[in-house]
Structure 1
Amino acid sequence: MEARTFDLPRYLSVLPLFTDLNRPELERLALGCQLRRLSRGDTVFRVGEACEEFHVTVTGQVKLYALSPAGQEKVIELVGPGNSFAEALMFTGKPYIVNAQALTDTLLLTVKKEAVVGEIERDPRFAMRMLAGISRRLHGLVHDVEAYALHSGMQRVIGYLLRDQVVEDCATGEVVIVSLPVSKATIASRLSLTPEYFSRVLHELESAGLVRIDKRDVHILDPKSLADYPGR
């Protein structure tokens, strides 16, 4: 996908935040947007930098992460295509509190604060859509904290494999293939697990005949039995 031929207003129209905007409004908003093509490993932003925009992953994967004083990395979130990040922080006037890095070659859409504020001033309903989006994101983060505090490592891995986007497929009882979007080490960090433990869990599930591992593809052979696995 070439950035110079990218239909930005049309892309904005399919994002939940902007679906109710008409073409002139989308074209006006697009003037406050920028497309950035990132290579794997490129930095999107760092802790302490000014936050005057939010971002949408168009293609690729972006990692939000924090570093401990000892240099240990904790992945906060993995942001895939069609998902946004930093929209809440943008309104606080505070700098970024986490780091963001492209995990793969990525096309990133940056939406300037001034453009968003302009639309809010023109139509207060736009503010309600922003709040709804931010609330969904907060709900997801609260769910993650709950999982880390109350669920075992096995439960977290199975929950990741049976996450929302494959629930309908799992209900049919057919084999479901989950492609890990990034390295196992990165996913392990996202789940607050060590890479070694994450690999052990996958091997245990494979030995139990519930999944089959093929590089980054996890074939869920029996979704219902996986959901009911005693280790959960």
Structure 2
Amino acid sequence: MPNVRPGEKPEIARLPLFREMQEEQRERIFSGSFLQVFPPQLTLFELGQHPDFLHVLIDGLVELYATSAGRDTTMRIVEPVTSFILAAVVTDMPYLMSARTLTSSRILLVPAALVREVVKQDCALMQATMRELALAYRDMVRALTDMKLRQSAERLGNLLLQQERRQGGNGAVQLKAEKRLLASLLGMTPENLSRAFAVLGQHGLEVDGAQVRFTDQAALEAFSRPDPVKDDD
């Protein structure tokens, strides 16, 4: 794997995790890291493995999933630009999830031991690491609350409202993952997901393949009951 090339350094230096670091420490990260393109459907690591690298998704799409008794479920669909799974790297403990690419993905690989070493020496990286871990915790709380307090159609509606904000707030959503993965992420069967889309069709939603359009956003919000506390997406 090639090290980070000089032409790639400015792009990586702008990433939230690294942009406030001391230049000397950032160069240490660059000197030990690799930027690689992975093909679709490639397993990056598996549940129970020890983390050798911190993965930072630059371009593409990655699925985090858990497996038990021959079944698996989607835990998160990772979009650029973000790291995964930072908690395992910081604690030097085995992964609780597996990861695979969904599309061709460009990923920065930072040696886990190097991350732990530099975090101790660079206050800005430590603060950025704490922020990413805190945001991941908030995402987990939201997902757990969603699963416990909302019915399937409400969970789908709430997710689409979140995605609409993140994709520009123009009343439309482009589904980036297959619907079977979306169903797994929301704790549904594909059949239940289809029924949930049908229910939302009565509350201001139109679906055409991977394109989703809000025809009555107020009605969709009234039905889906979006989170009253919103983070900066």
Q: Residues of 2 paired with 1:63 and 1:183: CA distance?
A: 11
Q: Which position in structure 1 is the counterpart of 2:28? A: 28
Q: Verify the 8 A CA contact 1:8 1:30 in the aligned structure 2.
A: no
Identity of aligned residues (%): 25
1:115-165 CA deviation, whole Å, 9 max, x = no partner?
Answer: 323322332342222112111111111110111111111110011100065
Q: Verify the 8 A CA contact 2:153 2:224 in the aligned structure 1.
A: no
Residue 122 of structure 1 aligns to a residue whose secondary structure is coil
Structure 1 consecutive aligned stretches of length 4 or more whose deviation exceeds 4 Å: 3-6, 167-170
The residue identity in structure 1 corresponding to 2:31 is L
Alignment of 1:106-121 (within 5 A): 106-121=105-120
Q: Report the count of equivalent residues.
A: 224
Q: Which position in structure 2 is the counterpart of 1:196? A: 191
For structure 1, the 5+ residue unaligned runs are none
Q: Residues of 2 paired with 1:168 and 1:107: CA distance?
A: 21
The residue identity in structure 2 corresponding to 1:203 is A
Matched, 1:76 2:75: yes
Q: Which position in structure 2 is the counterpart of 1:97? A: 96
Matched, 1:211 2:205: yes
Residue 139 of structure 1 aligns to a residue whose secondary structure is helix
Q: Residues of 1 paired with 2:11 and 2:109: CA distance?
A: 13
Residue 21 of structure 1 aligns to a residue whose secondary structure is coil
Deviation at 1:39, TM superposition (A): 1.3
Q: Which position in structure 1 is the counterpart of 2:9? A: 9
Q: Which position in structure 1 is the counterpart of 2:46? A: 46
Normalised TM-score (structure 1): 0.87
Change (3 A) 1:108 1:197: same
The residue identity in structure 1 corresponding to 2:78 is V
1:67-122 CA deviation, whole Å, 9 max, x = no partner?
Answer: 120x2221011101101111111122222221101011111111112332332233
Change (3 A) 1:123 1:5: closer
1:42-82 CA deviation, whole Å, 9 max, x = no partner?
Answer: 1110122221221111111100101120x222101110110
Over the aligned positions, Cα root-mean-square deviation in angstroms equals 2.4
Q: Residues of 1 paired with 2:166 and 2:56: CA distance?
A: 25
Deviation at 1:9, TM superposition (A): 2.3
Residue 19 of structure 1 aligns to a residue whose secondary structure is coil
Normalised TM-score (structure 2): 0.86
Change (3 A) 1:26 1:105: same
Q: Verify the 8 A CA contact 2:54 2:84 in the aligned structure 1.
A: yes
Q: Which position in structure 1 is the counterpart of 2:87? A: 88
